[in-house]
Amino acid sequence: MKALLALLAVPSLVLPLAGAAYAQPASPLDGDWRGRSDGGSCNAPLDYVLTIEAGIVDGSATDTTAHGPVPNTKHAPPPPPMAGLWQIHGLARPNGDFPLLSVASVTGTNRLEGKLTARSDGGALLVRETGGCRRTARLTR
């Protein structure tokens, strides 16, 4: 109890209130980023839309060539649907590479995850898949 009272007596110390929201410092990468990747080894480019706010990355990548289940006229097992939408999350760093996690929006029990590496490259954001199709995208604001 004495320690708490000693902390409260320090005039330059401000204790947070429960449930209070705090503004995060702005990041030089903050803003809306858009771009298209190359097709990579899958020959399927992705359209990226990312938002970075206070260094927090949130966005998606869409494969416009992906298709869902098709009519099965031969009564064979249907092919699995392709991932058409990837949700992307992570923490941006203004210097050097930073990792991003991508998770496919698919139905069923399949959980598809991918890892991305991003970095600031001049006035652009360079995003690369570290596995899978190994696509590379150059995003601009």
Residue 37: exposed, middle, or buried by beta-carbon count in 10 A (0-12, 13-18, 19+)? buried
pTM of the model: 0.72
Partner residues linked to 124 by β-bridges: 121
Q: Are 37 and 48 in contact (CB under 8 A)?
A: yes
Largest CA distance in the chain: 79
At 3-41, the pLDDT tens digits run 545 545 555 445 555 555 666 678 899 999 999 999 999
Tell which residue, 32, 87, 96, has the closest CA to residue 61.
87
Tell me the C-alpha distance between 101 and 122, whole Å: 23
At 53-112, the pLDDT tens digits run 999 999 999 987 766 666 667 776 665 555 678 899 999 998 999 999 999 876 666 778
